[in-house]
Amino acid sequence: MHAALRFARAATGRNTVVRFEGHYHGWFSDIAVSGPGTPPAAADRPVPLPPVAASAGLGRDHDVLVARWNDPIGLETLLRERGSEIAAVIMEPVPLAGVLEPLPGYLEAVRALTERHGIVLIFDEVVTGFRAGLAGAQGRFGVVPDVTVLGKALGAGLPISAVAGRSAVLDTAAGPAPHMGTFNGHPLATAAALAALECYMRPGFDARLERLAGQLADGLRKVGERHGHDLAVHRLGALLQTHFVRDPGRLADYADVTARTDRAAAGAFAESLLRRGVYLPPRNTWMLSSAHTDADIDLVLDRADTALAGMRECTA
C-alpha cells in the first residue's frame, strides 16, 4: 500500500490522498486515520471529515482527506475544491468493515471523477482480491482502477503483496519512486502465489466457492430468523459478514454499521461458536477457502443454530 501511494504521488507530482471513513489500508502513518474502530463523523458533517487516528503517533492529517463511502456528491464537492492537490483516491471497493457493497453507479462515479481531475484511483483488494472472484471486486463490478493492491489470498497463506496497474503510474518505480525491500520477490512466497493462481484459474473453482458461500449465507439467515435474531448477512463471493442489526434497512456506510449494529451481540455469537469448535472473528467476518466442504458448511450451520438459540434464551 505504501508503494502504491508513493507511485501515485510520483506520477502526479501531488501529495494529498483521499481515503474513506472505516476503510482499512494498513498501519503506517500516511494513511492510518479514520479506519475501523475509530468513531465516525456526525452525519451532517461536510467533507472532508476530521481524520481520527487510532492511536498516538498514527496519522498525518495534513496530507490525508477523509470522505464518506457511498457518497458521490460529497466526493464530487471535495475533488472540485481540492482536486489540483490530490494525488490519489484510495478505497476498498467493498470495505471489510461491514462487507458493504457500493450503491449502484457509485464506483463508476468515482472512476469518472478521478479521471476528470487527473487523480490516481487505487483499489485496495488485499481482502477482496480472488475472494470476490478471479478478477476481484473490480471484475465483479466492472470498474477498473489505475492501481490495484493485492495480498492475503494471493499467497494462499504465505506473506506476499503485489501492486498492479497502469504503466504510467508503475513506471515511476524505475525513476523517482524506486521500490526496494528485503523480501521483494521472495522465492518461497512467489512460488506459493504462482501455485495459488493456477488453482484459482481452474474451471469451476470460483463456482464451487460461490455455491458454498451462498449455502452458508442462506443458512445463517434461516437460523437467525428461526431464533428471532435480526441477522443481516452481507456476502461478496467467498467473503461474508454477519450483522446483528438494531433496525431494518440497508447498511450503506461505516457510520451505519457503527450506529445500527450490535457489536456486543456479534462478539457473543463469536464466543459461543468458539466454545463449539468454530472460530469466527469477533467482527463476524467469514472467509471461505477451497479447503472447505459441504460437510463443513453443514457443521457450521448446526453450531450456529445452537449458538443463536442459546443467545435468544439468555436475552429472553
H/E segment holding residue 284: none
DSSP 8-state class, residue 261: B
What cell was used for 111? 472512476
CA–CA separation, 257 and 283 (whole Å)? 11
Q: Beta strands 64-67 and 16-20: pairing type?
A: parallel
106 noted as active-site residue: no
How far lies 244's CA from each of 74, 103, 122, 306, 315, in Å?
A: 29, 21, 31, 16, 14
- Residues 185/40, Cβ–Cβ less than 8 Å: no
Q: Is 63 helix (H, G, I), strand (E, B) or coil?
A: coil
- Residues 266/304, Cβ–Cβ less than 8 Å: no
Q: Beta strands 16-20 and 86-91: pairing type?
A: parallel
What cell was used for 260? 445500527
CA–CA separation, 241 and 235 (whole Å)? 7
What cell was used for 290? 477451497
DSSP 8-state class, residue 101: P
Which candidate in 24, 106, 200, 254 is catalytic?
A: 24
Q: Kindly compute the dihedral angle of the four CA atoms of residues 25, 30, 36, 37, in this order, to the nearest 10 degrees.
A: 150
Residues serving a catalytic function are 24
